[in-house]
Structure 1
């Protein structure tokens, strides 16, 4: 039986979830305007995710009904932080791991490894060493983040089993003030817990259609302490991140863009980076992690009618080196994952909407090597054809439907080779019952092929006879309500993944996974401020049974109920903005076979004050205190809290911070 004690015994918390929840759609800032009768209405400004949705050409399409957009203000606050800071306001997107190298992302309870992830249109790698993250990104270089949970379009790319994550890096025009030819932003931050010093500089310029941008960030510090005073060995910040981008846009809209980025983390980390320890403590060891993404694209920003092409070519690579002090003969173990990908597509603008059609491909290679092993490799090549229609037949009805076909050639560690192919289809419908209330639903069936496994468990003796192509099936049913200053939303979801790889070194196997649950949200804005929040409940099963953390590895996580609340206010005429947030999770008592304890609940309060320096244009200073009451807790998405033998990687205790930024 599911543990619903949190819901049944704490009705006040449910009211809080309902009243502070659906905030995934309401952020911060308001605009007052008058109608013909002079009545005041609420508009939405930069701090609301709806403002970001409006910049998405398909933001109002039916298949975007389950999409979560990270607000501009959230991006700004996460600039000197990590992925957990980036998604802190969205309860259905959970990030566990405490330190960037170990942070794993879960969407509706499903590991992001089962979503199509792209940066600047370039497909990212999926699996890597299971103790570290396969998707560590620097929020400081991002300008747009969208999470498509569940059914998504055929143009999301291959392997969108449970949705997609789309990220875009900043352009020169995002940095430069109107009319400026050159400029930039400098940031400096310090956090007392771990004595972490962060500094970043962004420089940008433009001249007669030519744009350039250079970004650099460095964060260093000491090991932090948890709420109980435990010093987490191997948690010290030591990250370097860079981005270079060049673009040319002709007067008639033809735009070519080239970008390259590299975040690097090379430092001592916990022996198993995603946990403090198992049983007796072990000394930290060196993890050398480098992620590269190179992207080249062409589009016409002014295109209309039946000819609106886009071309993207790119490469993403993750290289992780892990010292093996307990096996000196191995030296350093290396895992390399590389994906070369591309797409050519055209968007046909028709009277009732758009139709996007195209072809995409990837060549993906994953290799393990050490001093005693020359290299063990898995490879996959995929070619896909797709078409996606997004139509508005009437003012009330919005439809999105698409189809794609993929053919994958897979080669295993033994040289075993086989081709897999399959169709994928999706359908999403949104219908406005009234001016305020919209009902929506979606379904998709997605061919996933065979995922490359964790290269740190590659076995040259694997039997591939039982490996099958995976398939994801998604169902969602939800609503959106908006009336003046109030916004509500909610949805039920079910995601099923068949034939997902669940291999260990000793065996090459597949299994079935399912995640189901619901999301609720509410937002309310007033002149100068906002309240937003979201509540998510998910339950995962593997092969029909409740899994422990290990059985769910790379598929999902036992999350249960998660709550996120944010509030912010700027007094009229004041240079100060005051606010805070609550992050909470209910106790998770669905103890599975293999685990031996319930996961405790927690509630953490964070506060901040920001001051816009009136005497220095472009200067802002932000003061914050995270985990005000110094709670010891591990984020619900962190691995291992359901085992008494595991010490999970706890989040930092009370942390005082200051960040200064200057636009020039």
Structure 2
């Protein structure tokens, strides 16, 4: 854990912690003796402790300055939390003390100030069969500056566009607008303009995130046609295990574009009250691609922030409120997801874009709940506005007016987790009221959707070798269209998944879901006051299937699987009066293989994914695929890291190889080829032993200086004579410094 104190403050804090240990010891013991089902492979001890937190919900706090190194033995079976922790720490110089109902402190008998770890060294994974778990350690290691960086090394999640404000995310080939997206538990409704990003978020504010690729549980929320993504932002508990205060400042400078990004974070805990504030500001010029050309409209001007207040009683009852925002305001290409679409030039090449997204969430939970009463109440409101200037001619001096698109969602849920001897059941109700409004010079339009749902999801361990999860949800939606049109519909969604240990080294897993999602709202910027809905839009449905095998041998793991998502009646309207009900059937399928090997001070991971998508039976392209899918093809990623603990030094990198794909190629026109590329990124990070509160890092991005547009980027398959896509930055040097205080 990174602590913020002077020597005197540290001594005082240690005394307070010692007193707190004595006071809370009797409260901590029930959680320590509670039993859980563990399946932790032999791995680096730090990773095993993260798995321990995932399984038990008990936060691991590192007191002092010693490193957590070495290898944990395998821990499996139904064990008391304390027994499992004892096994993980066996053979080390580490001891533990339970300091609260869901907190355990780790201390070392040696006083070696090499490295500290964060309280938040944990995931929010739930063990789903197709789950992608991005921990806080992953985010820190990748030094992410945008959504692409967050998912670096995860080829099942593709993020297109080199501009954060126009990045589109695809999970196993399915656009994120067909997933259930939440931030801090609040459902998101951010679809405004197809030239913009849907959910732009600052990685500096993220604690962790979870992706359910394809098959998603019922408690992920409504509309999980192709899966779900849950983002979790930081709070004061991620930095402080007890009362105190502190902060950090991190600055990153990218020489490609002279982009400076600074994050300032402060936090405190006192008598059950908690507060956190975090702000990021980025400013810079246009970057250069691998061909040394400046990418038009790629300058940086972004501001983001997060504020959280919380109170937690001694009994664990917790009430929190948070507000998160991000604003991107800069000159962008006229169509912000492509530099230029060639043809008669009727518009300027660039224009101002302003994207403003805000998310407010109130949450009540009980962090010390046991048995059949473990409530979770969430009430959220989010709002996204995109403003763009419109012109009467091809130059900026022909400005006509500013158009605005605004979406928002008022949503909430009330659920409870019922603990069982063999697992748990989560049951609850949720609602949302989504709106999508267009504000033009001569008219205003809006569509609305109101939904009420009820759900239950069971997660059971039937034996030491078998896990089963299944759920059901029912939803009723009322849709409101332009000119007073109204319709309503209802439907059921179901899912089932599980895994079975065939041998001590081989596990099979599979899952299936069928999803009813109601009617999706139209993009704001295509809404037409003359739309005719006829008999009304049809509700969107989907099914998802996945199956795979996982083999694990001590520190080595290899896995492979197949997946398929089919979506019917996916609504993607156009502005024309007769296009309000335009819809397609979408299919994305493929396979993935991967392997990983870890040692005491590092790891290497390799993953390959093939994704093939079709739209109403024809290969997907990025034009017809708007809000649906994109041509992805074959992608291979490699990640590697090694830590030199005595030197407090970490080095590593990652590689992404996208293979050439001719599945869309028209042999007559030559249009449709997806060019291949190889991108290599390297980093080195050092924490001086004399100043353990300081972290220095250097990155080299795109070491080979490739000229390329990443998969998922609009128009990359059309060729330079039709669409000039947004190329990614060429070789870029980044230097970062972070100081905690």
The structure that has the greater radius of gyration is 2
Q: 1:353 to 1:34 in 2, by over 3 A?
A: closer
Partner of 1:275: 338
How much has 1:612 moved relative to structure 2? 0.9
CA contact (8 A) 1:204 1:212 kept: yes
Q: CA deviation at 1:79?
A: 5.4
Deviations 1:56-85 (A, max 9, x none): 4x623xxx1200011333211455600011
CA–CA distance in structure 2, aligned partners of residues 163 and 537 of structure 1:
18
Give 2:622's match in structure 1, choosing from 545, 549, 560: 549
Q: What's the offset of the Cα at 1:283?
A: 2.5
Please state how far the C-alpha of 1:279 moved relative to its aligned partner.
Answer: 1.3
Residue from 426, 430, 447 that aligns with 1:360: 430
Pair 1:83-2:147 in alignment: yes
Distance 1:91 1:600 in 2: 17
User: Which of 407, 411, 414 is the matching residue for 1:341?
Assistant: 411
Query: Which residue number corresponds to residue 462 of structure 2?
Result: 393
**TM superposition shift of 1:371:** 2.3
1:528 corresponds to 2:601: yes
For the residue of structure 2 that corresponds to 1:570, the secondary structure is strand
Q: 1:425 aligns with which of 494, 500, 521?
A: 494
Q: How far apart, CA to CA, are the structure 2 residues paired with 1:184 and 1:522? A: 38
- Write the distance in 1 (CA, Å) between the matches of 2:90 and 2:401: 65
CA distance in structure 1 between the partners assigned to 2:725 and 2:74 by the alignment:
55
Check conservation: 2:272, 2:311, Cα contact below 8 A: yes
Partner of 1:601: 676
Q: Is 1:571 aligned with 2:644?
A: yes
- 1:321 match: 387
Aligned-pair distance for 1:595? 8.8
- Deviations 1:479-527 (Å, cap 9, x if unpaired)? 2222111111221000000010021111121110000001111111122
- Is the 2:665–2:673 contact (alpha carbons within 8 Å) kept by the matching residues of 1? no
SS of residue paired to 1:155: helix
Q: Does 1:229 align with 2:292?
A: yes
Does residue 622 in structure 1 map to residue 705 in structure 2? Answer: no
Supply the distance in 2 between the matched residues of 1:314 and 1:386 (Cα, whole angstroms).
19
2:121/2:136 contact within 8 Å kept: no
Residue equivalent to 1:642: 717
**What secondary structure is seen at the aligned counterpart in 1 of 2:463?**
coil
In structure 1, what is the equivalent of residue 42 of structure 2? none
Match of 2:194 among 111, 130, 138: 130
Deviations 1:319-372 (A, max 9, x none): 000111346675111000001100001111011111111100000000111222
Tell me, in whole angstroms, the C-alpha distance in 2 between the residues paired with 1:383 and 1:261. 25
Deviation at 1:414, TM superposition (A): 2.5
CA pair 402-179 structure 1, distance change in 2 beyond 3 A: closer
Equivalent residue, structure 2, for 1:446 = 515
Taking the aligned partners of 2:524 and 2:182, their CA distance within structure 1 comes to 21
How far apart are residue 196 of structure 1 and its match? 0.2
Structure 2 SS opposite 1:189:
strand
Distance 1:512 1:271 in 2: 30
Give distance in 2, aligned partners of 1:52 and 1:603: 33
Change (3 A) 1:197 1:80: farther
Q: Are 1:578 and 1:608, in contact at CA under 8 Å, matched by a contact in 2?
A: yes
Contact 1:330 1:370 in 2 (8 A): no
Question: What is aligned with 2:126?
Answer: 59
Offset of residue 32 of structure 1: 1.6
Given that 2:243 and 2:271 are in contact with CA atoms closer than 8 Å, whether structure 1 keeps it comes out as no
**Which structure 2 residues correspond to residues 404-419 of structure 1 after superposition, within 5 A?**
404-419=473-488
Q: Any idea what SS the aligned residue of 1:414 has?
A: helix
How many aligned residue pairs are there? 628
> What is the CA–CA distance in structure 1 between the aligned matches of 2:494 and 2:670, rounded to whole Å?
37
The aligned residue for residue 158 of structure 2 is 94
Preserved CA contact (<8 Å) 1:519 1:535: yes
C-alpha distance in 1 between matches for 2:725 and 2:159:
14
Aligned to 2:631: 558
Task: Single out whichever of 527-536 and 392-401 deviates more from structure 2.
Answer: 527-536
Distance in 1 between residues matched to 2:653 and 2:503, nearest whole Å:
34
Among 572, 597, 612, the alignment partner of 1:539 is: 612
Task: Provide the C-alpha distance between the structure 2 equivalents of 1:39 and 1:79, rounded to a whole number of angstroms.
Answer: 28
Q: Structure 1, unaligned stretches of length 5 or more?
A: 1-24
What is the RMSD of the two structures over their aligned residues, measured on CA atoms?
2.5
In structure 1, the residue matched to 2:307 is: 244
- SS of residue in 1 equivalent to 2:262: strand
Between stretches 530-539 and 593-602, larger displacement belongs to 593-602
Q: Distance in 2 between matches of 1:35 and 1:369?
A: 59
CA spacing shift, 1:130–1:432, aligned 2, 3 Å: same
Distance 1:89 1:379 in 2: 38
**Preserved contact between residue 634 and residue 641 of structure 1 (Cα < 8 Å):** yes
Larger deviation, residues 539-548 vs 587-596: 587-596
Distance verdict in 2 for CA 1:595–1:216, change over 3 Å: farther
Query: Which runs of no fewer than 5 residues in structure 2 stay unpaired?
Result: 1-46, 52-67, 76-86, 93-105, 107-114
Q: For residues 141-185 of structure 1, what are the alpha-carbon distances to aligned partners after superposition, in whole Å with 9 as ceiling and x for unaligned?
A: 010110000111111111000110001110101123x44500011
Contact 1:604 1:631 in 2 (8 A): yes
Which residue number in structure 2 is paired with residue 19 of structure 1? none
- The TM-score normalised by the length of structure 2 is 0.81
Contact 2:487/2:536, CA 8 A, preserved across alignment = no
Instruction: Check whether the contact 1:446–1:473 (CA below 8 A) recurs between aligned residues.
Output: yes
Distance in 1, matches of 2:142 and 2:407, equals 27
Does 2:439 match 1:369? yes
Residue 113 (1) aligns with residue 177 (2)? yes
Matches of 1:306 and 1:277, distance apart in 2:
58
Contact persistence 1:30–1:525 (CA under 8 A): no
Match of 2:646, SS state, is coil
Give the 3-state SS of the residue equivalent to 1:419 in structure 2: strand
Q: Tell whether the 8 Å contact from 1:152 to 1:426 is kept in structure 2 after alignment.
A: yes
Partner of 1:651: 728
**Aligned residue in 2 for 1:6:** none
- SS of the counterpart of 2:149? helix
Structure-2 separation of matches of 1:592 and 1:254? 59
Contact 1:317 1:339 (C-alpha < 8 Å) held by counterparts: yes
2:549 equivalent in structure 1: 479
Does the aligned pair in 2 maintain the 1:42–1:484 contact within 8 Å?
no
**Counterpart position of 2:71:** 32
Q: Which residue of 1 aligns with 2:100?
A: none
Pick closer, same or farther for the CA change 1:257–1:595 going to 2, 3 Å: farther
Asked whether 1:633 is paired with 2:633, we answer: no
Which residue of the partner structure matches residue 17 of structure 1?
none
Q: Give the match for residue 170 of structure 1.
A: 234
State the match for 2:573 in structure 1.
503
